[in-house]
Amino acid sequence: MAEPLLSIENLSAGYGDIRVLWDISLAVQAGEITCIVGSNGAGKSTLLRTISGLVPANSGRIMFDGANIANMPPDRILATGIVHVPEGRRLFRGLSVRDNLLLGAYLRKDDTAVKRDLDYVFTLFPILQERWKQDATTLSGGEQQMCAIGRGIMSKPKLLMIDELSLGLAPRLVERLGEALLEINRTTGITILLVEQDVITAFEIARHGLIIETGRVSKTGTTEALSGDPAIRQAYLGV
Ligand SMILES: Nc1ncnc2c1ncn2[C@@H]1O[C@H](COP(=O)(O)OP(=O)(O)O)[C@@H](O)[C@H]1O
Ligand SMILES: [Mg+2]
């Protein structure tokens, strides 16, 4: 198998004296959709924040595209091609949908390609084009998630990390967003790392998965294999 795009080795991290992640090792293959699932408080968001440089790593390595990015400043990590769509979407109040999307491209100098990517986001999510002038924070929850994902695409990442795609959204919308992620992955080849509390949704979208329990990776495998695991079925799928 080819070298993974992202490979984490023995990572520990937390907040001040509070250790949250313990000896995390994982690999994300280029071009794939991988999910991280686990209960509330397991450390999923902390893991994404450590990858994107918002939480310091206490030990271990985060190898991305051939370089150790652990403890690099967040803007440099973004420049290496990792974008983080945070839990709760965090769009900028007072800025239009279009300006929120363009903020994702602030490091880019290739104006023609930026315009093309904006058109791509509008094709992917036509509602954003209809609402382009509207304050992004007045969109519905599902539309805000589309805008946050769109903003991520606008930075032309190699790795798109999404924290809680489905949070607070109706099942129909979650399905629509899942289809959009599959389409993004298929048409642009962007590697996707999806964090989800909704395990059924995550397993439908992703090909590979890992389970985090109290800050440790407890299982990894294809989502097909994980869905067939009796312990996982009982703990996370309720069957
Ligand atoms: N800013 C913070 N300061 C201190 N502890 C935090 C902070 N954010 C999260 N935690 C703690 O880290 C643990 C993991 O949280 P989190 O990564 O948000 O889990 P998840 O995303 O899996 O629900 C929890 O015990 C939580 O209370
Ligand atoms: Mg979280």
Domains of the chain: residue spans and CATH: 1-81+158-172+190-239 (3.40.50.300), 93-156 (no CATH)
Query: Residue 105 corresponds to which tokens in the numbers above?
Result: 């491209």
Q: Of the residues 19, 45, 164, 194, which should be mutated to test ligand 1's pocket, given the most ligand atoms within 8 Å of the CB? A: 45
pTM of the model: 0.95
Q: What is the DSSP code (8-state) at residue 96?
A: B
pLDDT in single tens digits along all 239 residues of the chain: 678 999 999 999 999 999 999 999 999 999 999 999 999 999 999 999 999 999 999 999 999 999 999 999 999 999 999 999 999 878 989 999 999 999 999 988 999 999 999 999 999 999 999 999 999 999 999 999 999 999 999 999 999 999 999 999 999 999 999 999 999 999 999 999 999 999 999 999 999 999 999 999 999 999 999 999 999 998 888 77
pLDDT at 236: 85
Which ligand does the CA of 55 lie closest to? 1
Query: Residue 43 corresponds to which tokens in the numbers above?
Result: 């450390």
Cα–Cα distance for residue pair 50/73, rounded to 1 Å? 11
| Number of Cβ atoms within 10 Å of the Cβ of 25 | 15
3-class secondary structure, 92: coil
Question: 20: buried, middle or exposed (CB in 10 Å: 19+, 13-18, 0-12)?
Answer: buried
Query: Residue 51 corresponds to which tokens in the numbers above?
Result: 């990858």
pLDDT at 1: 60
Q: Is the shortest distance between the CB of 15 and ligand 1 below 6 Å?
A: yes
Contacts of 83 (CB under 8 A, 6+ apart): 104, 152, 155, 157, 159, 160, 161
CA of 72 to the centre of ligand 1 (A): 21
Measure CA of the first residue to CA of the last residue in the chain; give whole Å.
Answer: 33
What is the position in ligand 1's atom list of the atom closest to the CA of 46?
A: 17
Q: Is the shortest distance between the CB of 46 and ligand 1 below 6 Å?
A: yes
